[in-house]
Amino acid sequence: MAGVCTGFSAGILLLAWAEVYGRMEPGRVFVYGALSLAFGALAYLFITQSSLITRQFATFCIPAASFLMCTMSYKYVGIENTAAGTQVPPSIALQPQTRYSFPWKPVLMMGVCGFSAAFVDVALFSQGTLPHILADLIVGVLLIGLVFISKQGVKPVVLVGLSLGCMVLGIASVALFGAQAAFAASLLTMLSYVIITFFTYALLANKSFRHGIPTLWLFGFAAAARIAFDHLGGFARMAFPHLNGLSSSQLDLAVMAVIGLVVIGVIALMWMSERSFNSSWAIERIDTGASAPARSEREIILLGCERQAEAAGLTERETEILGMLIEGQTYQQMCSNLLLSPNTIKTHTRHVYGKLGVHTREEAVALIKSSGEKP
């Protein structure tokens, strides 16, 4: 019963925070998501090494604190109290004549990685929670480092390739060394899973932000698929008891090879079919009246920014700043969102205006909207 209640609470928290991340630019989602991974892992390691009273206190206080901070974040990102008659969150807003496609590509991509990670960690070697916690910490610290090191920003789609690499190394270590590589295999496959999960949630948040698709629709399917595939991987221990404590027999190696090929093949196909973070990924907002994709105001702006960025040769950072300028953000807001100094923001802005051939924000807005509204 305790496990069911904990899982239900975690699911509610995920969907609540999805509303917050669905209102953020991709850059902020990347930074705050990486910070949350690292902080969560460090908090877990600290609490598990503490006294029983501390662990009991944390069990009750951490979920309550998370709900409180989530509520405070709603105001920060513009989700006001609906009881006051102000603004309705996108996940519950009624949008007539609109339907949404099922996000099967990111859901399937995350699901097969979750199955593989659970299969190796639970069904084969039973390494407990340590590989998962270490994977969260490693990925969080790595992403934070990349954000601060890379002046042009980090390409989120690169994470898919990194996840594939970890999965290949994890499966190869099992095939070559068997049970002797138990911890390394569990850690590598869990790294792959954490990376692809981070990418998938960032992708879904970007789709909600860009297209106005309800976060409950996107994150609800993704969370359900993640849990289902996790349990399927763990249940493999019951279905194939002889795999527990994997040896290096030909049958075991063949089983791992097949699972590895399926996982790597699915992820690689999804990656190669899209490549860009802003590609479709089988996620669309459809106008049922016109039977065609419906564009939100933000999507028109972002599409115009991308078209003009390609034509003018803007960098990824300059494109990101251009989008914020068009949306009316101040220099202070951009500094906070991108973790850059005011002088850096102003320098990027001058470069953007110069490459676009405009002199004011108003001229840039007119140019971008005109470009985004074209078919």
User: Do 251 and 335 fall into the same domain?
Assistant: no
User: Do 231 and 307 fall into the same domain?
Assistant: no
User: Do 270 and 304 fall into the same domain?
Assistant: no
User: Do 165 and 136 fall into the same domain?
Assistant: yes
Helix (H) or strand (E) holding 365: helix 361-372
Identity of residue 92: I
Note the pLDDT tens digit of each residue in 35-49.
Answer: 999 998 998 888 888
- Which residues constitute the domain of residue 337? 295-372
Domain assignment of residue 36, yes or no: yes
User: Do 237 and 357 fall into the same domain?
Assistant: no
How many other CB atoms are there within 10 angstroms of residue 162's CB atom? 16
In contact, 40 and 197? CB cutoff 8 Å? no
Domain assignment of residue 84, yes or no: no
Lowest mean pLDDT among 54-68, 258-272, 339-353: 258-272
Based on the number of CB atoms within 10 Å of its own CB, is 328 exposed (0-12), middle (13-18) or buried (19 or more)?
exposed
Contacts of 59 (CB under 8 A, 6+ apart): none
User: Do 42 and 178 fall into the same domain?
Assistant: yes
User: Do 232 and 363 fall into the same domain?
Assistant: no
How many other CB atoms are there within 10 angstroms of residue 183's CB atom? 15
Give me the percent of the chain exceeding a pLDDT of 90. 5
How many domains, the chain?
A: 2
User: Do 243 and 301 fall into the same domain?
Assistant: no
User: Do 67 and 125 fall into the same domain?
Assistant: yes
Note the pLDDT tens digit of each residue in 154-200.
Answer: 677 788 888 888 888 887 887 777 667 778 888 888 888 899 889 98
Dist CA 120 CA 233 (whole Å): 8
- Domain edge (last residue) among 210, 239, 274: 274
User: Do 243 and 299 fall into the same domain?
Assistant: no
Note the pLDDT tens digit of each residue in 79-137.
Answer: 654 433 344 444 444 455 677 888 888 888 878 877 777 776 665 556 677 888 999 99
Dist CA 213 CA 215 (whole Å): 6
Where on the phi/psi map is residue 281: left (φ > 0), alpha (ψ -120 to 50), or beta? Answer: left
Domain assignment of residue 321, yes or no: yes
Closest CA to 283 of 99, 93, 84: 99
